[in-house]
Amino acid sequence: MVCVTINGDKFEIYPPFFDCVRCGKKTLGVLHVGVRGYIRACCECPLFNAKGGEIPPVINLPALHKKVIYLDQHVISGMAKALRPELQRSKMEQHVQEAWIQLYHILDRLRRLQLIVCPFSMHHRRESFMDDRLYKYLNTLYKRLANGVEFFDALRIQSIQVMQYTRHHLDPSLPAFIDNPQTVVLGTINSWERYSLKAGMQDYEWKPEGAKLMREQNEAANKNFQTIYDRWKQGGMSIEDRIEEESKGFSTMVRKIYALLLVKSASEQFGLPIDPRMARQVEEELVDEEHAYIQLVDDAYRLFSDGAMLINPYLLRQTIDFLAGDDVRKNVPCIRIEPLLWAALARQAAATKGRKEAIDPGDFNDISAIGNIMPYCDVMTVDKAWHGRLKENPASNEVKGYRAKIISRSNLQELMGYLDEIERTAPVHLLTKVQEVYGNIEDEDPFIGLEADTLQC
């Protein structure tokens, strides 16, 4: 990279360098890469003169069709620990270490060839920022592989799916579910990778207070999931009935939260006292993330009422009945998938002698990631246990309905085989363009900059 200063402004110009038609030197590099085009500039010639009306031409780039590869946190940390053995708590076997390093280089190469994106997610955040020693390394890999793309959190994805289904209900010509990942992420999946990533991307910054908050949230979530798990472990109910019961959780919450809101509003409006038990519920449950359900009812009501400003109680009732009804429960992917995953976990717990008492904290994160993110991915990595559970019914039939290839992270060869195929079948004109914009792609150590920064501090 070459830094040039023109009229007091600093610019960075990147290789590859071509011959400049103005000065004849091999100094014409890349000034900027955008979503679907890039701009070149010469290190020696005047850049451009906005006052004089000279605007550098934007060179168009072909449309991209990146594969969305969702790597779970263990894959990211496996690669980080293999690249930096001093991060390993217990020493990796050499062939394991080599496989992780090989995987990293394949992923990074495909990323730079504009063929894949590995989005970041809340599930990564939950699991990664607990370890002070590792987080900087994980953060570096997330940033490098995600190109600024991050999946929305689970509640937002759920709301998007419910609204899609509501639109379909009101106009059956619209799709019931849109599996385009762009509908559920921050950032642009099919954007050419920009050099000015720092500006364009969310920084998955770690702060000590952030880690504390995350720990507290994790504890609360674990407690919640343990309650569900304990319910599942109890015998006396068929797996089908269990799934049925669990999938009603969304309906129950929508009704409950909206009812609490109505109680609260009525009390405030007419100065009526609230029953103390109800008041406690309003206090405890109407705060925090469950507000998302109120927004959801409001958004759906707007569709039902065609945007009418006046609240029609009959229509509001109809909206809530629809959202809390069987139709939504049985047709919205994330609401349908999660209970199947619980069933898979419960079946295994019931089959294990002495029954596992506590849920593995990683399992609830996995359930949420599979339930919410899997339908949008081309590949998703999971642990060996989940790989096995997803191959059996009731989960198996559901998972087959999506394009995602589920790969166990203990089978890195399968993942690498899939990735190799992506490069083998990449269109030649695209690879030529990549070389024109980014130059030759060689293996890079992702942590050099990070460690150099640390040394400077």
Residues in contact with Zn ion by CB under 5 A are: 20, 22-23, 42, 44-45
Least Å from the CB of residue 146 to Zn ion: 35
Nearer to Zn ion, 42 or 134 (CB): 42
Which of 22, 65 has the CB closer to Zn ion? 22
Is the Cβ of residue 6 or residue 358 nearer to Zn ion in the bound state? Answer: 6
Question: Long-range contacts for 79-86 (Cβ within 8 Å, ≥24 apart)?
Answer: 79/103, 79/104, 79/107, 79/141, 80/134, 80/137, 80/138, 80/140, 80/141, 81/134, 83/137, 83/445, 83/446, 83/447, 84/137, 84/447
Nearer to Zn ion, 25 or 65 (CB): 25
Q: Give the phi and the psi of residue 67 in degrees, each rounded to 5.
A: -80, 140
Which residues fall within 8 angstroms of residue 296, CB to CB, at 6 or more apart? 159, 162, 163, 254, 323
Positive/negative CA dihedral, 375, 378, 379, 385 = positive
Query: Minimal distance in Å, beta carbon 22 to Zn ion?
Result: 4
Min CB(41)–Zn ion separation in Å: 9
Nearer to Zn ion, 4 or 407 (CB): 4
Question: Least separation, in Å, of the C-beta of 437 and Zn ion?
Answer: 19
Half-sphere exposure of 438 (CA within 13 A, CB side): 21
As beta bridge partners, residue 406 has 380
User: Which is nearer to Zn ion, 8 or 24 (by Cβ)?
Assistant: 24
Using alpha carbons only, give the angle 243, 295, 330 rounded to the nearest 5 degrees.
25
Tell the smallest beta-carbon distance from residue 28 to Zn ion (Å). Answer: 6
d(CA 145, CA 405): 19
CB closer to Zn ion, 20 vs 399: 20
Q: How far is the CB of 433 from Zn ion (least distance, A)?
A: 23
Phi, psi dihedral angles at 9 (to 5 degrees): -95, 140
Long-range contacts of 260-264, Cβ-Cβ distance < 8 Å, separation of 24 or more: 260/285, 260/286, 261/286, 261/294
**Do the Cβ atoms of 419 and 110 come closer than 8 Å?**
yes
Q: How far is the CB of 18 from Zn ion (least distance, A)?
A: 10
27 or 140: whose CB is closer to Zn ion? 27
Nearest approach in angstroms of CB 15 to Zn ion is 15
Closest CB to Zn ion among 20 and 71?
Answer: 20
24 vs 235, which CB is nearer to Zn ion? 24
Report the distance separating Cα 77 and Cα 295, nearest Å.
36
- Closest contact distance (angstroms) between CB of 440 and Zn ion is 22
How many angstroms separate the CA atoms of 195 and 13, rounded?
Answer: 10
Least CB distance to Zn ion at residue 435 (A):
21
CB of 23 to Zn ion, least distance (A): 3
